[in-house]
Every structure is written in structure tokens, then in C-alpha cells.
Amino acid sequence: MAEKKFKAGILGLNPKGQALLEAAEQCGHYDVVAVAGLDAETLPQIAQKYQAQSYSDYRQVVAQNELDVLFVAGSMRLCDEHVRAALRKGCDVVRLVPPALDFEQAAELVLTARKEKTRFIVANPRRFAPSFQDMRSYIHEEGADTFHLISAVTNAPQDFGDPRDRWLTDPHLAGGGVLLHECYGLIDQILLSFPLPQQVYSINTNHAPDRQQRLSLTEDTAVVTMRFSDTLLGNLSTSRTFGPWLCRLRVHKDDGYAIVTDDRLTIHDNDGRILQERSYVYDENQLMRELLENVAQHKRHPRKVKLFEESDDDLRTMAVIQAAYVSARTAAAEEPAKILDMARAVPARLWG
């Protein structure tokens, strides 16, 4: 007997939202019954494709449907109250990265989900990327305490030409900035293998012609330094003015280093000779299908199938990003643990 599909709706039909719907349909566990978007031309086409009810008002998706899962691809500036309403109705939420505009919003959503015994799940497909899984295994086998330097680079070309995206250029509306939120997946990978940084120091800038304009616009380029311990430092460099898209992590220890990207892992000695090399196919659609398969199986068999992530992981990542944005404003090192502590939103085991 075929298993009953989960009733699903979606807020936001941008290209990432459409890709999420395709993955949901292909994995076979979800019946998309409601779609909501702001583009009057795209909305009816997607509704017809999935034989779903269309809505231009996000509120109605939650109010008029008894959903099992709500997919969220739209801006959290517009979706926040509807996500909370869905959680309060007992609906699990699957949100594309980044999960929130800032740490405070993320913590409130996680706490709401815990209170209502639902799930606020961050759809981070890089968790399933074979290259990064192998990198995590390598770090675990070698021992995280044997590494002394982490170097991460992200090129995240972005175009804010669409008038509906102009709010992303305003630091206040965008939760402090935009670019570092695009590094969410890479920062998450770092924190899966290494502890929460003790201190974070960030320098951000943009290409506006004068200082006053630079202060009133979100960043084009950022350099973030992280102190994990007395023997381990990390550095993240990111820009939206360089292309093509790049996500690269490099970790160093006394006798060599390893470099991972979405499609390649290499392990080197200190003279640069390649000791091991592996190539991979990075298929984001396939990774998202695996993620949604895990979510569905966890919903069906919560005691047998472990969800791929813990909400604590997401709060740790958001705390590092928040610390970086605060540091850029204060020109001083910030402590992510204090952000977690001030929110009073996470269990004590995060400090373990």
C-alpha cells in the first residue's frame, strides 16, 4: 500500500523556490496543494503545473489549508509572520538558506517550533554534498585538534536589479547585511567539524563612491577572522563582485592540508604534492531530493530516522554571522557565545 503523501504549500516562487518544488515532486513524498508568489505571470503557470491552488496573499496559504509541510523560499521580511502561524498550527517548516534575517529572528522561530512540537528545518543541501561529507570524515579521522588554520572563500555574485530585491541593499531591512548570509552553507560546514569560534572580527565594505553611501548600503566584500582556540584560527573571504560562484574550504595541519570544493577534494603534503584526489558531481537537485527524502522519512518514522540537522546547529551558524555583522559595525571582536547567551534561546549543551 502506497504511503500517504504530505500536504505541502510554498511561499515564494523565485527560481530557488521553483527548484525546491521540482525536488519535492521528484522525491515522491509531497503533494503540493498551495503555491503563493508575487509574480502575477509566473503564479498561475506554477499552480497549473502542480494542480495546486494559487495565492497572491501569503496569509491565505496557511489560513485556508491544513498543511503538513510549508516550504519557504520568499524573503523572511515578508514570510516571518506566516511561518510563525504555520508552526503554531502544527505544520513543519522547511526554509531555504539563509534561515532568517538575523539571529534574533532565527532563535524566535526555533523556540516557536520547540514550543509547538513542530520543526523549523533549514534546507541546506550542502549537508549532503559528497565532497564535504568526505572532508568532514577526513577532519574527524585526523582529529580536529591537529589543525591550526582554516581558510574559506566564497564568491557569491548577486544582482539586485529587480526592484523587488532593492531592500537587500539596505542594512537595516536586510538584517545587517546580505553577503555573509550567502556564506551560510560554508560556515555551517566549518562548525560541523570545529567548535564555535571564541571571537569573530569582520571588515566589510562596498564599492559605493563615498563613505556616507558605503555606510548606508550592504556589503560587496567581507573578510572575517575567527579565533577558535589558542592554536586554531580561521579566515573567511567573500565577495559578490567576483564570479563565477565558488565555495572553497582549506584546512591546514603541521604536515599538510586539504582543499574541498563542491566537486573536488584534494589532500596535500606541505610541499603542495597531491597525496589524494577525488572528483564528484555536484547536483543540487539531487542533494535537495535527498534532503527532502530525509525530512519525509523522519516525519514518518521519527524514532528510526534521524533528521539530518539539529536546530542548535542553525543557531550556532547564525550566531557567527551575527557576530561578524556586529563586529563590522563596532570595529571590535565579538563573541558568538554571548549572542547565544543573550538570546536565552538555546540549551546549555551548546557550550559543551
pLDDT at 329 over 60: yes
Residue 205's pLDDT is 81
pLDDT at 2 over 80: no
Q: Is 181 exposed, middle or buried (0-12, 13-18, 19+ CB in 10 A)?
A: buried
Overall domain count for the chain: 2
Residues 300 and 251 grouped into a single domain: no
Is residue 294 included in any domain, yes or no?
Answer: yes
- Cα–Cα distances in angstroms (integers) from residue 341 to residues 97, 197, 266, in the given order: 23, 14, 38
Residues 168 and 244 grouped into a single domain: yes
pLDDT at 159 over 80: no
pLDDT at 277 over 80: yes
Is residue 209 included in any domain, yes or no?
Answer: yes
d(CA 7, CA 64): 13
Residues 198 and 96 grouped into a single domain: no
Residue 58's pLDDT is 97
CB crowding 92-125: b at 16 or more within 10 Å, else e: bbbbbbbbbbbbbbbbbbbbbbeebebbbbbbbb
Is residue 1 included in any domain, yes or no?
Answer: no
Residues 208 and 322 grouped into a single domain: yes
Residues 31 and 176 grouped into a single domain: no
Residues 70 and 213 grouped into a single domain: no
Is residue 300 included in any domain, yes or no?
Answer: yes
- CATH of residue 112's domain is 3.40.50.720
Residue 156's pLDDT is 75
* Mean pLDDT of the 50-57 span: 97
Residues 59 and 203 grouped into a single domain: no
What is the number of other CB atoms lying within 10 angstroms of the CB of residue 338?
12
- CATH of residue 169's domain is 3.30.360.10
Residues 114 and 190 grouped into a single domain: no
- Quick one: cell of 175? 538584517
What are 251's strand-pairing partners?
150, 258
pTM: 0.90
Residues 259 and 298 grouped into a single domain: no
Residues 98 and 182 grouped into a single domain: no
3-state secondary structure of 295: helix
Residue 327's pLDDT is 95
Beta carbons of 80 and 74 less than 8 angstroms apart: no
Residues 198 and 330 grouped into a single domain: yes
pLDDT at 217 over 80: no
Residue 232's domain comprises: 127-282+314-351
Residue 133's pLDDT is 98
